[in-house]
Chain A
Amino acid sequence: MTTLWAATLGTSLVAFLLKYSGHSVPERWLSHPKIQRINAFIPIALLSALVAVQSFSQKTQLMIDQRLVGLCVAIAALLLKAPFPVVVLSAAVSSAAVYNWL
């Protein structure tokens, strides 16, 4: 099985097991304040790391290219409270402009 298929099916299986387990275990198991706090922090950590790695790397090499422009435009859009589609679209358009014309 290829990496892509393993990732597709493995992610799906674990995702469902996690969802189903929540519906099946007693509430007190997962309602501990420390668990709640870690649960709030994990997405912040992983998503921030993903923003950084996807913006500045190619495999294991660091690089700065048109994606930096897209990232800056996305941050500006978020600071201006733009909705999600506008954030993504403005990042894509500015990055494409730099890639095609510079």
Chain B
Amino acid sequence: MLKNRIIPCLDVKNGRVVKGINFVELKDAGDPVEQAKIYSEGGADEICFLDITASNENRETIIDIVRKTAKKCFVPLTVGGGVRTIQNITDLLLAGADKVSINTAAVNNVDFVKEASKKFGSQCIVVAIDAKKVSDNKWEVFTHGGRNKTGIDAVEFAKQVQTNGAGEILLTSMDRDGTKSGYDVGLLKVITDSTNIPVIASGGVGTLDHLYDGIVKGGASAVLAASIFHYGEYKIKEAKEYLNSKDVSVRL
């Protein structure tokens, strides 16, 4: 049976982890390579890096981090943030990323997802959709960390990226992100029901029950979380044991 995945996400800015894990044994709490290794050894099913570096000059930094991480972590590694060109994808994959996550570029140019999945295969193209609720049962795609409204319906957009060859959708609720009040289960449900590719739930996790809701109520194939793991509130293993105790199948 296919297991539900738990994916810790590390936000990286100028080569440093923004929200660090509070582990005493860590030599350098801001080093993304060290943190990825701890997650991987702790049972993470995949690792995700989100590069939130603002300037383009620092692109090399994330590539260097990916290169070092890929030599030490032997679980899938997804890298997102600033993926705008075919060259960006080539650079990340060559450095050792297994998948890239495309956000704004997928909204700005619908053909980019098509081009990327044709060139590299759907298996490594994740489209990250940031959505905000605009009315009852209606969500819209936003870009630039939730600042820019696009007028695009989230469900229609999800269907379109699936047609264009996305292998997975990373769905973040901009209403819930950072609130610790749980995933937007309504959003998840409507997207997982209207697509046939795996959906990764993101945005809002504060408790282990939220992970359960994302999978069982929202229909997500994988759950992504940042702060509950970063601040050491829960270990990956605890999350998995909890889900397992509630009959959600995970890789133990």
Partners in one complex: no
Which residues on B are within 8 Å of A, measured CB to CB?
none
